[in-house]
Amino acid sequence: MNRNSLTRSRTHLRLTAAFFTVFLLICCLLPGAAALSDPAPQAEAVYLADPESGFVLYEKNADEKRFPASTTKIMTALLTLENVDNLDTLVEVTEEDFNGVESDSSKAGFKVGEQVPVIDLLYGLMLPSGNEAANTLARYVGGSVDKFVEMMNDRAKELGCENTHFMNPNGLHNEDHYTTARDLYIITQRAMQDETFQLIVNTAQKTLSKNNLTPERGGKPLKVYTTNMLIFSRHQTAYYYPYAKGIKTGHTSQAGYCLVAAAEKKGGRLISVMLGCERPEGAAQPVTFAETRRMFEWGYENFTNMKLVEKGAEEYSKQISVRLSTEDDKLVLVTQSDLEGTVPKDINLEDLELNYDVPKSVDAPVKAGDKLGTLNVQYNGVDYGTVDMVALSDVSRSEVLYYADKIEHFFQSPLFRILVVLIIVLFFAYFGILFYRARRRRLRRQQMMKSRQARYRDYDKRDRDQNGR
């Protein structure tokens, strides 16, 4: 190779190396395909999660203490539903129920002396955000408002809320009345497990039942409307969201605008918590509705509810050993049911963490469908649940192997060891007793012989004495 060819070859190598260096730098600088852009919601604290699996899609200042305003009433409703068996029970509204309820604060429209079913008080609590309804329910359920507040704080601790403290059942401002987006999600997640709660919070308007004060309203029962524009389809504004499942708004000047909302789309359920939002000047509504709707859509666009484990699928099967059978020495376990969860759309199912809890072996007989273990599924630290592992087929038992195993186990059992030790002890005890008795007899014979010899000596001495005389 001449000098020119060598120079050209080196130049090509340098250019190739430079090209790959630039290419790698560009790849490093570009965001990964799986990376999600931050939706940057206009709220001080945000929490968006799947209530079924607990998978968190997005969070922002989730553990920052915030004033919850009327989203407090979620806990008030939850405690009422947990402690009142008959929701048709009549409760009389009293003057005490209006203590602290200013004229410009939200009210359901109940009057002093009105006898209202608990279910209607709940609608008055959650739709128009009635502060007097909150006090009435608190007084009825707890015996007093103060006692009910104690119940609220106790229940929050039971649910695992670490940064929540209530001072009243309605959310009117108090510096020592606070929660976090995460804690409020926890409370809401539990409340949404109650079907009556779901029905109430997803109601846009409700005509309450007639009662003793209906005549004072011209014979017409009280009608209440939701403050949650996500479910108020009558207005069909940009705020309405067809997949929304309601829940609760809140607002005070100190808390800002708050909204806890739920949605369900194609089987995927989400709960959103937004605290500390603003209402732009001149806007008809605060940004909570548009931002919550946007967050829901962001969640559904980037995440999906999918089947993580398929019932009976071979890839999730597990093989274990079988004892006491002449037919098979192996048994296949399969998943008894499907398992679904909300995960990133670009997830690789091979990245799922599968934790099997199955025995190394089982004893025959086994019937197909017998539960013999579990499979727990996790991803990125989120526990998606557990499915049972069941036997795929029958395995019969060999009676010969069964009784042989019983005999073998008997000889290996602690009872057998105890019996052996007991026999050995009895053996030595028996021969010890025999030896002891024989020794005693020998000693007695020796003593008797000595006694006889002593007597003979005495007789002999006496005879000699007598003869000497």
Average pLDDT, the chain: 89
Q: Same domain, yes or no, for 217 and 285?
A: yes
Question: Which of these is catalytic: 129, 245, 248, 272?
Answer: 129
Q: Give 233's pLDDT tier (boundaries 50, 70, 90).
A: confident
- The domain that contains 392 carries what CATH number? 2.60.410.10
Quote the DSSP letter at residue 316. Answer: G
Cα-trace Rg, the chain: 41
Q: Is residue 434 part of a domain?
A: no
- Cα separation, 270 vs 230, in Å, equals 14
Token digits for 444? 């007695």
Tell me: do 239 and 342 sit in the same domain.
Answer: no
**Is the domain of 337 the same as that of 295?**
no
How do residues 35-56 score in pLDDT, each as one tens digit?
Answer: 578 999 999 999 999 999 899 9
* 226 — pLDDT class (breaks 50, 70, 90): very high
Q: Which of 236-245, 248-257, 414-423 has the highest mean pLDDT?
A: 248-257
57-61, 171-175, 341-345, range with the lowest pLDDT: 341-345
**CATH number of the domain to which 215 belongs:** 3.40.710.10
**Domain-located, residue 456:** no
Indicate if the pLDDT at residue 100 is higher than 90.
Answer: yes
One domain, residues 258 and 301: yes
Pick the more confident residue, 191 or 5.
191
Residue 73: predicted pLDDT:
99
pLDDT at 449: 82
Instruction: From 402, 421, 437, give the residue that closes a domain.
Output: 402
Q: Which range, of 13-27, 82-96, 197-211, 333-347, averages the lowest pLDDT?
A: 13-27
Q: Is the pLDDT of residue 280 over 80?
A: yes
238 & 325 share domain: no
Q: Which amino acid is at 97?
A: D
Q: Which among 70, 106, 272, 325 is annotated as catalytic?
A: 70
Assess if residue 32 is contained within a domain. Answer: no
How far apart CA 103 and CA 427 sit, in angstroms, is: 97
- Residue 241 has which token pair? 């969201």
The verdict on whether 317 is a catalytic residue reads no
Please report which confidence band the pLDDT of residue 21 belongs to, taking 50, 70 and 90 as the band edges: very low
Q: How confident is the model at residue 236 (pLDDT cuts 50, 70, 90)?
A: low
Per-residue pLDDT at 5 exceeds 70:
no
Per-residue pLDDT tens over the stretch 241-272: 999 999 999 999 999 999 999 999 988 999 99
The verdict on residue 16 lying in a domain is no
Pairing of strands 361-363, 318-323: parallel
Helix 73-83 with 181-191: angle, nearest 10 deg: 30
The one-letter code for the residue type at 282 is G
* 321 included as an active-site residue: no
Residue 389's nearest CA partner among 360, 352, 358 is 358
**What pLDDT score does 415 carry?**
73
- Domain residue limits at 344: 310-402
Which residues lie closer than 8 Å to 331 by C-beta, 6 or more apart? 319, 320, 321, 322, 362, 366, 372, 391, 392, 393, 395
Whole-prediction pTM: 0.75
What do you get for the CA distance between the two ends of the chain, in Å? 155
Chosen domain end from 281, 306, 331: 306
Q: For residue 323, which phi and psi values (nearest 5 degrees)?
A: -105, 160
Is residue 270 in some structural domain? yes
Position 369 pLDDT exceeds 60 = yes
- 256 and 112 share one domain: yes
Are 260 and 316 in a shared domain?
no
Of 110-119, 220-229, 441-450, the poorest mean pLDDT is in 441-450
Looking at per-residue confidence, does 382 or 412 come out higher? 382
Any domain includes 39 = no
Residue 121 lies in a domain: yes
Overall size of the chain counted in residues: 469
Q: In this predicted structure, which of 35-44, 223-232, 327-336, 402-411 has the lowest mean pLDDT?
A: 402-411
253 as an active site residue: the answer is: no
| Together in a domain, 371 and 301 | no
Catalytic option among 60, 73, 206, 245: 73
Q: Do 193 and 290 sit in the same domain of this protein?
A: yes
Give 420's pLDDT tier (boundaries 50, 70, 90): confident
> Cβ distance 265 to 255 under 8 Å?
no
pLDDT tens digit string along 131-166? Answer: 999 999 999 999 999 999 999 999 999 999 999 999
Are 54 and 190 contained in the same domain?
yes
Asked if residue 111 is part of any domain, the answer here is: yes
Q: Please tell me the predicted confidence (pLDDT) of residue 380.
A: 86
Q: At what angle do helices 131-142 and 118-126 cross, to 10 degrees?
A: 140
Q: Once rounded to an integer, what is the mean pLDDT over residues 309-317?
A: 96
Burial per residue of 375-393, b for 16 or more beta-carbon CB atoms within 10 angstroms, e otherwise: bebebeebebbebbbbbbe
Could you give the percent of the chain with pLDDT greater than 90?
A: 71
Of 292, 297, 306, nearest in space to 346 by CA: 306
Whether residues 333 and 302 fall in one domain:
no
Residue 90's pLDDT is 98
User: Last residue of a domain, which of 258, 287, 306?
Assistant: 306
pLDDT of the residue at 143? 98
The whole-number average pLDDT for the span 439-443 is 84
User: Are 70 and 200 members of one domain?
Assistant: yes
DSSP character string of 57-80? EEEESTTS-B--GGGGHHHHHHHH
Task: Quote the pLDDT of residue 35.
Answer: 56
Count the domains in the chain.
2
Query: How far apart, in whole angstroms, are the C-alpha atoms of residue 121 and residue 108?
Result: 9
CA dist., res. 137 & res. 324, Å (int): 64
